Amino acid sequence: MQERDWLFVEDYCRAITLALLKAERGSIYNVSAGLPQTNIKIVRTILTHPGKPDSLIKYVQDRPGHDRRYALDCSKIRTALRAPCGDS
């Protein structure tokens, strides 16, 4: 049930372009969708598109010290550069 803040590569590229064009030199921004999703939800979504069954999913044991959740606060890029960031 690990969660990650998944982001389309095109959205990430737009954020980088925006930072290159508008950001103050040396500024640091977290780029995030602002909508953490469980890994299994993403895998099932990916399998749905080509019509593949869930039986293709292979579960593996977590590595020691594996983090349950990775998510970033993207409010700085949203407010400073007026970039979209999730629903909040």
Which of 2, 75, 3 lies closest to 34 in space, CA to CA? 75
Domain boundaries, the chain: 3-81
First to last CA, the chain: 23
Model pTM score: 0.66
Residue 33 has pLDDT above 50, yes or no: yes
pLDDT digits (tens, 9 = 90+) for 43-68: 999 999 999 999 999 998 888 887 88
The dihedrals phi and psi of 76, each to the nearest 5 degrees, come to -65, -45
Residue 86 has pLDDT above 90, yes or no: no
